[in-house]
């Protein structure tokens, strides 16, 4: 019996031992499981940490964000640049149109002014041609800027001048060597518009101007018999320009009238 009890006790002890071993094994298993879990956790944490390390600025996601930001900024800048360029083009276009319009107005004004001037000149030329035609029919001749009328009859100096004045002219005034050549080329004796009747020796043209350059014959003017106060072209040597002679104003001679044509519109014909 005691053996049985001892055996039973031993068996119980063994059972207890087994239980203790089992408990230790369970504890070991749990420890192993915890260890594995901890390792997994550390692994996961490590991976997470690795992932976080890769997510620092400069990684792929950050670069993608930065690239997107740069792209947006670039797009905005390009858009602003396009707006600025478009605005510049519009402003330039407006200025160009304004310039073109001003140029067209200026050009049109110039054309209008030219047209008005040409029209006025055409009227003047037509008037002058009409005047010349009328004078040519009356026996006038045109030279330089003057019309000349050579009489076919003879009269005193005073009567001759009156005839010229009736023709809205006066006795010829010789202003230049060319005019003297023209007049002397007529090869006739005739009165010219020169006299010293107001003051002996002071020769004046019919317009009141004093004589500056004379073409007197040698020895003239001599005021022969103190009665010579009017000037004539005296033809005795047509190879010379010095052909003037003073003569009694009551002597009858041909005469020559002159009418200026510098501005035909200012003359009354």
Would you call 107 exposed, middle or buried from its count of C-beta atoms within 10 A (0-12, 13-18, 19+)?
exposed
Sign of CA dihedral 147, 181, 201, 254: negative
Query: How many CB atoms within 10 Å of residue 167?
Result: 16
Max alpha carbon distance in the chain (Å)? 216
CA distance 177 to 23: 158
Residue 169 vs 246, nearer CB to Ca ion? 246
Q: Which of residues 190-209 bind Ca ion (CB under 5 A)?
A: 196
> Does position 232 bind Ca ion by CB under 5 A?
no
Q: Does 176 bind Ca ion (CB under 5 A)?
A: no
13 vs 209 by CB, closer to Ca ion: 209
Sorted by sequence, the CB contacts under 8 Å of residue 40 that are 6+ apart come out as: none
User: Distance between CA 186 and CA 238 in Å, rounded?
Assistant: 9
Using the rule CB under 5 A, give the single segment among 114-122, 161-169, 185-193, 216-224 that binds Ca ion: 216-224
Considering beta carbons, is residue 65 or 214 the nearer one to Ca ion?
214
Total residues at interface with Ca ion (CB under 5 A): 11
CB of 265 to Ca ion, least distance (A): 20
What is the enclosing helix (H) or strand (E) of 156? none
Q: Is residue 223 near Ca ion by the rule CB under 5 A?
A: yes
- Binds Ca ion by CB under 5 A, chosen from 151, 229, 234, 253: 229
Tokens in use for 30? 């749990």
Q: Whose Cβ is closer to Ca ion: residue 246's or residue 254's?
A: 246
**Between 2 and 226, CB nearer to Ca ion:** 226
* 188 lies in the binding site for Ca ion (CB under 5 A): no
List the one residue from 228, 232, 234, 253 that touches Ca ion (CB under 5 A): 228
List the structure tokens of 59.
Answer: 């990684």
Stretch that binds Ca ion, among 20-28, 134-142, 162-170, 222-230 (CB under 5 A): 222-230
CA distances, 116 to each of 43, 71, 106 (Å): 104, 66, 15
Q: Does 21 sit near Ca ion (CB under 5 A)?
A: no
| Residue 222 found at the interface with Ca ion (CB under 5 A) | yes
Q: Whose Cβ is closer to Ca ion: residue 122's or residue 252's? A: 252
CB of 200 to Ca ion, least distance (A): 5
Q: What CA–CA distance (Å, rounded) separates 217 from 180?
A: 13
Residue 228 CB, nearest distance to Ca ion (Å)? 5
Only one residue has tokens 């002058």, namely: 128
| Contacts (CB under 5 A) with Ca ion, residues 243-262 | 245-246
The CA-atom distances, in angstroms, between 22 and each of 13, 14, 16, 32, 35 are 14, 12, 9, 15, 19
| Total count of residues recorded for the chain | 269
173 binds Ca ion (CB under 5 A): yes
Q: Catalog residues that contact Ca ion under the rule CB under 5 A.
A: 173, 175, 196, 220, 222-224, 228-229, 245-246
């Amino acid at each position: 019996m005691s053996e049985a009890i001892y055996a039973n006790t031993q068996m119980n002890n063994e059972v207890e031992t087994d239980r203790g071993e089992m408990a230790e094994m369970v504890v070991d298993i749990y420890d192993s499981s915890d260890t594995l879990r901890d390792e997994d956790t550390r692994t996961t944490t490590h991976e997470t940490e690795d992932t976080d390390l890769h997510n620092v600025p400069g990684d792929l996601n950050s670069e993608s964000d930065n690239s997107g930001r740069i792209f947006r900024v670039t797009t905005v800048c390009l858009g602003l640049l396009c707006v600025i360029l478009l605005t510049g083009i519009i402003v330039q276009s407006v200025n160009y149109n304004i310039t073109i319009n001003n140029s067209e107005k200026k050009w049109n004004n110039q054309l209008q002014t030219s047209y008005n001037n040409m029209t006025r000149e055409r009227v003047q030329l037509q008037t002058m041609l009409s005047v010349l035609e009328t004078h040519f029919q009356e026996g006038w001749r045109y030279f330089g800027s003057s019309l000349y009328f050579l009489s076919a009859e003879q009269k005193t100096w005073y009567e001759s001048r009156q005839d010229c004045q009736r023709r809205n002219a006066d006795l010829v005034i010789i202003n230049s060597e060319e005019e003297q050549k023209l007049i002397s080329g007529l090869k006739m004796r005739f009165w010219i518009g020169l006299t010293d009747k107001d003051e002996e020796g002071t020769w004046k043209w019919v317009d009141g101007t004093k004589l500056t350059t004379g073409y007197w014959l040698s020895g003239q003017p001599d005021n022969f018999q103190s009665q010579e106060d009017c000037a004539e072209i005296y033809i005795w040597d047509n190879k010379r320009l010095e052909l003037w002679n003073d003569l009694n104003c009551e002597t009858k001679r041909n005469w020559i009238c002159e009418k200026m044509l510098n501005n035909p519109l200012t003359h009354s014909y």
